[in-house]
Structure formats: structure tokens, C-alpha cells
Amino acid sequence: MEGDLAHIGAGLAAIGSGAAAIGVGNVAGNYLAGALRNPSAAASQTATLFIGIAFAEALGIFAFLVSLLLMFAV
Amino acid sequence: MATEADGHSEGGLVFHPMDQFIVKPLFGDGAVGMFTFTNVALWLVLAVICVIALMVLGTSKRATVPTRTQSVAELAYGFIYKMVEDVTGKDAVKYFPYIFTLFLFILFSNFLALIPMSFSPTSHIAVTAVLGFGVFIAVTILGFVKNGASFLSLFWVSSAPLALRPVLAIIEIISYFVRPVSHSIRLAGNIMAGHAVLKVFAGFAAITAVAPLAIFGIIGIYALEVLVSFIQAYVFTILTCVYLKDALHPHH
């Protein structure tokens, strides 16, 4: 695997997954904090939790996509 | 261990972790054309057979005391039915068969892909894009059929100040058209990344010094992958429900 600027770019784009991890962690952590304060309301909000995680994760997936494009399409 | 240096040792591993995703014809080794029966097609067909088997075998007896197959079928049915009702609303129940089919198909594709030496069709963006764009096109057409031109009020956020609304409309339109992309790549990306990680750990297992560690790693990652398989099927289905809700009730 010879060094190439596209590979460096792909590596830099992978930082975006870390940013998405912060987002997903925020969603899940805040859900847990809320759920421990009011456990009776927690079950009704799991769907919202997953939707929130999915949206936060979507942006990490775009970073992953950029990374893939740089690796295989450039 | 002994099969090193057959052209794939570039990453320092015995085999390349992305080799498992190569699409090849099942019979012979010609080029992959439009109607070639490939390994992707095989595992897609197996997933469909599993879905049919679960629902037909599970519901054929209709016993009062359910067997194991029947209770799994009933559990899946009830789970998705409740989700459609909660997220999309009572009037969306007639779209339940489509959503339930999507869920079971993705779930079984993901689970079958966890069998060692199998192939994961949902790791291919080509497969998930068809599912994602299918939902997107269906939902968009449905929105216009059900609401006519007032479906466009989805992009006109009436709760925002008037000056902000054109800006928000542009953002809403962009986010609407990005939906099928993120919808499909989320599934493909998660499954592909998970399987690549498994193969990377499998490559470490060939190195004697770290082999025990790598094997525990594989067990851990595999357990995580079982969870991810389910969660991604669930997320795909729940997002379908959310998009469907936007189409049926576009008014914020």
C-alpha cells in the first residue's frame, strides 16, 4: 500500500466517526440520566432514543462515506 | 498461517479484511452481469426463505400454547405492530405488512451473515440502497397522493419566525433528499464495518503471540455484532415509520 494523499485524507475523514461517537454518547447518556430521574417514563421514549442515535450517527456515516470514496473511488 | 504471501499480505495480515465482501458468481467464474446468480443473490434468497419459513411454520398450527417458533413469530409481529402504531399512528397500520417485511428481511440477512464463512448481503450499499430508495420513493409518492400539494408544507416550518422560514425550507429540502442516502448507508456501513473488524481480529489470531487475546476479542466483537444486527434492522424499520409519518401527517 503506497502512501498517497488520498489515504491521508481518508484517515482524516475517519476523525468524523469520533465526532459521531461523541454525539451518540451524548444522546444515550442524557437518555440514561433522564431515565434514572423518571424511570416510569423511560420505556415510552426508547423509540425516540433510537431515532436520536440514528440521526447523530448519520453524520458519522457521511464521514465514513467520504473515507470510503477516498480509498476506493479516487 | 501457512497460507501467507499469496498476494494479500500488503496490510501485514494473512488475508485482507475486505476480501469477504467480493461479489462473485456462484457457478463458474465469468464476469458478473445483470442476471448472474452471485453469492449475494444466494444469501438474499436464503434470507427470504428463512422469513417465509418462520412465518409459515410459526403460524400454521395456531396453537393456544405456542411452540418456540410460533412465539418468536408472534413476538416479532407484535413488536413491529406496536412500533408502527406508536410511531406512525393508527391510520398507518395498513402499511404494516411492508414495514414488517422490511424488518424481517433485514434481520435475517444480518443474522445469516453472522454464520462463519457466509456472506453479508446487507454490507453492500447496492442492496441497502434499493431498500432505502424504495422507502424514499414510496413515501414521497404516498405523501403527494394523500395530501396533494399540501405535502410541501413539510418543508415550510410554520412554527418558525417568518424571516427564518425560507432558510429552514432549504435545509429541510436538503435533509429530505439526504434521507435515503443516510438510511441505506447506515445499515451497510454498520454491517460492513462490523464484519471487517471481525476479520481484522481473525487475522491477528494467526499470530501466535496475540492469538488468545484475539480470540477473546472475536468473541466480544461477535456478541456486539449480534446486537448491532438487531439494532440496525430496528433502526431501519423505525426510520421507515418516521418517514411514513411525515408523509401521512406533513403538518408540524
Predicted ipTM of the assembly: 0.71
CA-based torsion, B151, A44, B180, B41: positive or negative: negative
pLDDT per residue as tens digits for the range A3-58? 688 889 889 998 988 999 999 999 999 999 999 999 998 888 888 898 888 888 87
Q: What's the CATH code of the domain at A25? A: 1.20.20.10
pLDDT per residue as tens digits for the range B32-71? 777 888 888 999 999 999 999 999 988 888 888 888 889 9
What pLDDT does residue B117 have? 85
d(CA B151, CA A44): 28
Total domains in the fold of chain A? 1
| Residues sharing a CB contact under 8 Å with residue B157, sequence separation 6 or more, in sequence order | B164, B165, B168, B169, B172, B252
Could you tell me if B191 and B122 are in contact, meaning their C-beta atoms sit under 8 angstroms apart? Answer: yes
Other Cβ atoms within 10 Å of B170 Cβ, number:
11
Cell numbers at B46, concatenated: 436464503
pTM: 0.84
* Cα separation values, B55 from B79, B101, B200, Å: 14, 11, 36
Range of the domain at A32: 5-72
Contact between chains at A53 and B242 (C-beta distance less than 8 A): no
Tell me whether B18 touches chain A (CB under 8 Å): no
**Chain A interface test: which of B191, B192, B235 (most A C-beta within 10 Å):** B235
Contact between chains at A61 and B185 (C-beta distance less than 8 A): yes
Q: Phi/psi at B41 (nearest 5 deg)?
A: -60, -40
Tell me whether B150 touches chain A (CB under 8 Å): no
Could you tell me if B252 and B159 are in contact, meaning their C-beta atoms sit under 8 angstroms apart? Answer: yes
